[in-house]
Amino acid sequence: MDLAEVGSVGGFFALRTGAHGGAYVPFAQIYAGGLAPLSARVDTVAGKLGAPERRVAASVAQLGLAARLWSVALGSAALHGEVPDLDPARLYWDPHRSSPDDLRLPEPRAVPTVGATAGGPPVTALAEAVREVVQHGHLVPLAAALRADGRISHRLLWGNAGSALAGAVRELRVWSRQAGRPEAGERAAAIGAALFTHPDLRGTGTSRDGSFRRRSCCLYYRCPSGGLCGDCVFDRPPTRSSAREVSG
Map residue 213 onto helix, strand or coil.
strand
This prediction's pTM: 0.93
Within a 10 A sphere around the Cβ of 235, how many other Cβ atoms? 7
Q: Regarding predicted confidence, which is higher, 24 or 245?
A: 24
Q: Which residue has the higher pLDDT, 19 or 16?
A: 16
Q: DSSP class of residue 210?
A: T
CB 99 within 8 A of CB 14: yes
pLDDT per position as a tens digit, 35-82:
999 999 999 999 999 999 999 999 999 999 999 999 999 999 999 999
Burial class (CB in 10 A: 0-12, 13-18, 19+), 171: buried
What is the residue-wise DSSP string for 68-131? Answer: HHHHHHHHHHHHHS--B---TTT-EE-TT--TTSSEEESS--BPP-SS-BTTBS-HHHHHHHHI
Residue (of 69, 138, 81) closest to 115 by Cα position: 81
d(CA 40, CA 136): 24
- SS (HEC) of 12-42: HHCCEECCCCCCCEEHHHHHCCCCHHHHHHH
What lies within 8 Å, CB to CB, of 44 at 6+ separation is: 95, 96
115, pLDDT greater than 80: no
Residue 76: how many other CB atoms lie within 10 Å: 28
pLDDT tens, 215-243? 999 999 999 988 899 999 998 887 654 45
Report the distance separating Cα 131 and Cα 232, nearest Å: 24
For 146-189, the pLDDT digits (tens) are 999 999 999 999 999 999 999 999 999 999 999 999 999 999 99
Distance CA 205, CA 226 (A): 21
> Can you spell out the DSSP letters for 164-184?
HHHHHHHHHHHHHHHTT-HHH
H or E element, residue 211:
strand 211-214
